[in-house]
Amino acid sequence: MKKGGINPNVKLELTLPHPDEVSFAKFLTQSGTFRDGDLLVNRDGVRIVSQTETQPQPPITPSDNQLSLEDMDMVKVIGKGSSGIVQLVQHKWTSQFFALKIIQMNIEESARKAIAQELKINQSSQCPYVVMSYQSFYNNGAISIILEYMDGGSLADFLKSVKTIPEPHLAAICKQVLKGLLYLHHEKHIIHRDLKPSNLLVNHRGEVKITDFGVSAIMQSTSGQANSFVGTYNYMSPERIIGDRHSSKSDIWSLGLVLLECATGQFPFSPPELEECWTNVYELMETIVDQPPPSAPSDQFSPEFCSFISACVQKDPNNRQSAHELMTHPFMNMYEDLHVDLESYFTNAGSPLATLQNFEAMDGSQGIISLVGGFDNKVAQPAMCLSPEKPTWDTGGSLFIC
């Protein structure tokens, strides 16, 4: 064979990378950092940096709390989805519990960009009424997010135990949710877009916090509106179902449905005759759009509560009150003299306090999958039997943003 020639007996094979790998490569730097626009995530943590030419991009650094994955002991898996898992973990040195979401990144590019948007919201949100994100990491093809652990589970879980929630306790719960919405809507200009019982978490200190900004929209325009169709159909406002532009008032509609469900123990829109639950999502959406909005029965609830629900579920979003206006509604203050103790209420009526002993005593069927909200990676699909809401992991779209 001549020098430089090709041996005809040698078989050459050309292997093309999987399309997902090609797409994913666009998000990685040479050092192995996951990057999307101004978001940088690596094994040391997450940082949002400037993209302007006049400002240098500082290196990514850990947050001041110095949390690391190496300091976490896994207690148990508390949620599973098609793209990852949620683990309950315990810090080795302080014994503090955290919820750890681990998201595999070999998924669609749109979902990866959604994760990036969620991380930006988590990084910038600091509010006692919103579940805290302590730190995020990228390593070995996965994003890991250390989240505040809410030991009482979700409001959906709590409803399974108590069936209904009395007005005084609902007012105290609602006040905390409204404070969270005030922060999101007016300070951060964020529409949550998936407010539902499973995305409202409680703990044994009597706190209620909003979680899961998976389908949230940052209202960057002056109009403060969005028009993408994501979120859980059950609690979706009429204007969103028909594809109209929507604002923070869509979250207020969802809040009204959540409160009414908590008060009555049933999803506010009744299924067709002779059916125990909704079996057709299109019929449900038609009902939400075409039928009158639900109302609280005046013979079972106070005029103030009935008025509050009505202020939330007006079909025309322009007629709905904002979170700021609802904070001054008479229902918010009518039970203040009772000094409602949500700490005792959640502790006595809800799930047992989270301890290693309690977790070891639990079997797999008792899971606590709603302790950090949903874990989904697709546009929402409805929970077919809606009363009470059942947690679903591969539907709902409640982890990512469009």
pLDDT single digits (tens) 184-198: 998 988 888 889 998
The Cα–Cα gap between 375 and 369 comes to 9
The Cα–Cα gap between 394 and 377 comes to 7
Q: Are 26 and 36 in contact (CB under 8 A)?
A: no
- What pLDDT sits at residue 377? 33
Q: Are strands 217-218 and 190-191 parallel, antiparallel or unpaired?
A: antiparallel
Count CA atoms closer than 13 A to 121's CA, side-chain side: 31
Q: How many CB atoms are closer than 10 A to CB 331?
A: 23
Instruction: Count structural domains, the chain.
Output: 2
Nearest to residue 232, comparing CAs of 380, 354, 366?
380
Annotated catalytic residues are: 194
Per-residue pLDDT tens over the stretch 37-93: 777 777 666 666 655 545 544 432 334 456 788 889 999 988 776 677 889 999 888
Q: What is the number of residues in the chain? A: 402
Task: Output the pTM of the full model.
Answer: 0.73
Whether residues 290 and 321 share a domain: the answer is yes
- What pLDDT sits at residue 118? 75
The Cα–Cα gap between 398 and 80 comes to 13
Cα of 43 vs its chain's centroid, Å: 24
Q: Which DSSP string do the residues of 37-85 spell out, in sequence order? A: TTEEEETTEEEE----TTS--PPP---TT---GGGEEEEEEEEEETTEE
**Which tokens go with 106?**
């070999």
Which of 216-230, 321-335, 373-387 has the lowest average pLDDT? Answer: 373-387
Identify the helix (H) or strand (E) that includes residue 261. Answer: helix 249-264
Whether residues 134 and 165 share a domain: the answer is no
Read off the pLDDT of each residue in 103-117 and give the average, rounded to a whole number.
74
Q: Are 276 and 303 in contact (CB under 8 A)?
A: no
Read off the pLDDT of each residue in 234-244 and give the average, rounded to a whole number.
90
pLDDT grade, residue 338 (50/70/90)? very high
- What pLDDT sits at residue 29? 58
Whether residues 140 and 233 share a domain: the answer is no
Whether residues 138 and 190 share a domain: the answer is no
Per-residue pLDDT tens over the stretch 13-53: 545 455 555 455 556 655 566 777 777 777 666 666 655 54
The Cα–Cα gap between 81 and 151 comes to 21
Cα of 323 vs its chain's centroid, Å: 19
Whether residues 203 and 297 share a domain: the answer is yes
**Which tokens go with 179?**
């404070």
Whether residues 173 and 318 share a domain: the answer is yes
Whether residues 176 and 318 share a domain: the answer is yes
Under 8 Å CB-to-CB from 230, ≥6 apart: which residues? Answer: 193, 194, 215, 379, 380, 397, 401, 402
Whether residues 196 and 287 share a domain: the answer is yes
Whether residues 118 and 162 share a domain: the answer is no
Q: Which of 93, 126, 148 is the last residue of a domain?
A: 148
Whether residues 120 and 212 share a domain: the answer is no
**Type of residue found at 290:** D
* SS3 label, residue 22: helix
- Residue 387 domain-assigned (yes or no): no
Whether residues 211 and 84 share a domain: the answer is no
Q: Which of 119, 148, 177 is the last residue of a domain?
A: 148
The sign of the dihedral angle between the CA atoms of 389, 397, 375, 215 is negative
- Residue 394 domain-assigned (yes or no): no
Nearest to residue 139, comparing CAs of 68, 36, 83, 80?
68
CATH number assigned to the domain comprising residue 26? 3.30.200.20
- Residue 11 domain-assigned (yes or no): no
Q: Which residues pair with 97 in a beta bridge?
A: 90
Which of 26-30, 59-63, 248-252, 320-324 has the lowest average pLDDT? Answer: 59-63
Return the higher-pLDDT residue of 270 and 365.
270
Domain span at 244: 155-354+362-366
Read off the pLDDT of each residue in 231-249 and give the average, rounded to a whole number.
84
- Residue 75 domain-assigned (yes or no): yes
**Type of residue found at 164:** T
Whether residues 234 and 124 share a domain: the answer is no
The Cα–Cα gap between 178 and 323 comes to 6
pLDDT grade, residue 108 (50/70/90)? confident
pLDDT at 178 over 50: yes
pLDDT at 249 over 50: yes
pLDDT at 389 over 50: no
Q: Is 101 annotated as a binding residue?
A: yes
- What pLDDT sits at residue 294? 96
Counting residues of the chain whose pLDDT is more than 70, the rounded percentage is: 66
The Cα–Cα gap between 219 and 133 comes to 21
- Residue 265 domain-assigned (yes or no): yes
Q: Which DSSP string do the residues of 94-113 spell out, in sequence order? A: T--EEEEEEEES-S-HHHHH
- Residue 65 domain-assigned (yes or no): yes
Identify the helix (H) or strand (E) that includes residue 260. Answer: helix 249-264
The Cα–Cα gap between 205 and 342 comes to 8
Block residue for tokens 């209620």: 208
Identify the helix (H) or strand (E) that includes residue 303. Answer: helix 303-312
- Residue 379 domain-assigned (yes or no): no
Angle at 113 between CA 109 and CA 117, to 5 degrees: 165
Q: Which residues pair with 144 in a beta bridge?
A: 102, 137
- Residue 350 domain-assigned (yes or no): yes
Q: Which of 106, 124, 148 is the last residue of a domain?
A: 148
Q: How many CB atoms are closer than 10 A to CB 27?
A: 19
CATH number assigned to the domain comprising residue 266? 1.10.510.10
